[in-house]
Structure 1
Amino acid sequence: MNHPLARALRGAGIDAVDVAARLGVDPKTVQRWMTGRQPYPRHREALVALTGWSPHDLWPELARPADPATLADEVRIVYPHRSAVPADAWAGLLSRAEHEVAILAYSALFLAENVAVTDLLREKARAGVRVRIALGDPAGKHVATRGDEERIGAGMSARIRTALVGFGPLAEEPGAALGLHDTVLYNSICRADDELLVTSHIYGRPGAHAPVLHLKGSRVDGMVATYLASFERVWSVTKPAIV
């Protein structure tokens, strides 16, 4: 018998009968273990203690803990469209932020009109959380194009101006910043530290009809990092909003 367990037991001077007596099992069961059958977890722990070998030395086929460097970002939930996201999910996400909140959108009007969200953002800013909101420039060419694509024309700019009124009080908080951008909006992003709700926009359809991903970051080069880098690039070209 050349199975690692058999070698480990021989090295420890323990035979199958000894193991059976100590673990309260039949010697034939131990013989099966020594030829490759895997014991139950409680018996594996006992065999590790008896032999001094590690679990993976005794049973190389055991699944190994994932290396943090190889972990993929977690896709927690995929919503078919933004209107399917529970209303309290946005505030719930933002309430978990301890260091950073970032919102990228054209209007994010559904958030700006939610008093619970705007009050929460002010509280976060006062508590030292960095809060940044990047909305579309109402006079921007890309905002105008998006309005045409959605067949609402100047309605897109009007939505942004309304959102600026809702988010306006945030500008009074030292830890918050409200900016305007004129970039193509491929995705809207709502960030709370390493958690994101990402709305993946679709040509000609309003944001409420677009799919939403709830992501949790776990590595420096994963999906979440890609979206966060995108936010930073947009933020670098924003101008302060005047409200």
Structure 2
Amino acid sequence: MNIRLQSVLHQRGIAPESLADVCEVDPKTVGRWLGGRVPHPRHRRRVAHHLRVEEGFLWPPAVAESAAPTNVELVATFHNRAEVPREIWLSLLGNATEQIDVLVFSGTFLAQSNPRVAHTLTERARQGVRVRLCFGDPSGRAVLERGLEEGLGRDTLAAKIRASLTYYRSLPSVERCEVRLHDTTLYNSLFRYDDTMLVNPHIWGQPASANPVFQLKRVNDGGWFDNYAESFDAIWADAQPWIPD
């Protein structure tokens, strides 16, 4: 526990939720800081400035420097996406309690391996999970270029996306579920389930299914996990809501 941070917040009469607003993070993130997690340097500076104390008082150098190296976030690697056991996908999906984020072009395999994926996502949302699915815009330039790079022709990838979206027709009407379309060059497909993330890098000219996957577990602020999560948020912000036909 970070007793010093707790004490200063109490002395200043500042609620954790207020500090979260100042730092532009989720209140649960502040809760993790109070629990002992060391924030990213930019957040440490902002907290110290807002609370009018020295950063070194809240996080002594020995504590800040002992923050776990980012490579400990790497839990597992898979030679290609097909090597990720189906049980892992199902377990992560079914056990998420806070957040599910998916960033893909078509993500066809998600529905093909689990035809009830939309039903499961609806159940998770009704349990309070925030669900954000971001697919490639079938009419966008990024999808066209990716299809040509993979040798699929001009329309194949767009058709795969439209077919994949049919599984999710019911989701936009479900509270806490959102589906958007992006027109962004993807360097990775991302699958986030709370503090676990599967990252599927894109190798030029190869389908995502033939590319490696590595599994990350969030350890502290500013690591690999957060960098990928921030890239999702940036793409999500520019994506357009999907309205089923």
Superposition TM-score, scaled by structure 2 size: 0.70
Gaps of 5+ in 2: 1-62
1:71 CA displacement: 4.3
CA RMSD of aligned residues (A): 1.9
Aligned to 1:49: none
CA displacement, residues 118-144 of structure 1 (integer Å, 9 cap, x when unaligned): 221111111111000000000000100
Deviation digits for residues 182-215 of structure 1 (CA, Å, limit 9, x no counterpart)? 0001000010111001101110001110100111
2:65 and 2:168 map into 1 onto residues whose CA distance is 41
The aligned counterpart of 1:69 is 67
User: Which residue type is aligned with residue 170 of structure 1?
Assistant: L
3-state secondary structure, aligned to 2:144: helix
Supply the AA of the counterpart residue of 1:126.
R
Q: Could you say which residue in structure 2 is the equivalent of 1:197?
A: 198
Distance apart, 1:116 and its partner CA: 3.5
Aligned residue identity for 2:237: S
How many Å separate the matches in 2 of 1:116 and 1:142? 29
Name 2:94's counterpart in structure 1: 95
Q: Tell me by how many angstroms 1:93 deviates.
A: 1.3
Identity across matched positions, percent: 39
Q: Which has the larger radius of gyration?
A: 1
Distance 1:66 1:220, change over 3 A: closer
What aligned pairs does 1:35-184 form with structure 2 within 5 A after superposition?
69-72=67-70, 73-113=72-112, 114-153=114-153, 154-184=155-185
Q: Distance in 2 between matches of 1:234 and 1:208?
A: 21
Unpaired runs of 5+ residues, structure 1, are 1-64
Letter in 2 for 1:233: A
**Conserved 8 A contact 1:112-1:167:** no
Inter-partner Cα distance in structure 2 for 1:97 and 1:177: 16
Q: What do residues 219-242 of structure 1 show as CA deviations (whole Å, max 9, x unaligned)?
A: 110000000000000000010112
Partners of 2:111 and 2:167 in 1: how far apart? Answer: 5
- On the 8 A contact 2:73/2:225 being kept in 1, the answer is no
Task: Give the Cα–Cα distance (whole angstroms) in 1 for the partners of residues 65 and 96 of structure 2.
Answer: 26
- Please give the secondary structure, in 2, of the residue aligned with 1:232: helix
SS of residue in 2 equivalent to 1:125: helix
Q: CA deviation at 1:90?
A: 1.1
Change (3 A) 1:68 1:88: farther
> CA 1:194–1:67 in structure 2 vs 1: closer, same or farther (change >3 Å)?
farther
Matches within 5 A, 1:215-234: 215-234=216-235
C-alpha distance in 1 between matches for 2:172 and 2:108: 16
CA contact (8 A) 1:111 1:118 kept: no
SS in structure 2 of the partner of residue 236 of structure 1: helix
User: Partner letter of residue 115 of structure 2?
Assistant: V
Cα distance, 1:66 vs structure 2: 11
Q: Does 2:242 align with 1:241?
A: yes
* C-alpha distance in structure 2 between counterparts of 1:177 and 1:239, whole Å: 10
Any idea what the Cα deviations from partners look like across 1:39-62, whole Å, max 9, x if unmatched? xxxxxxxxxxxxxxxxxxxxxxxx
CA distance in 2, matches of 1:210, 1:158: 21
State the Cα distance separating 1:67 from its structure 2 match: 7.3
Find the aligned partners of 2:107 and 2:185 in 1 and give their Cα distance.
15
Q: Is the 8 A contact 2:68 2:219 kept in 1?
A: no
Matched, 1:208 2:189: no
State the shift of 1:68 in Å.
Answer: 6.5
What is the count of residue pairs matched by the alignment?
180
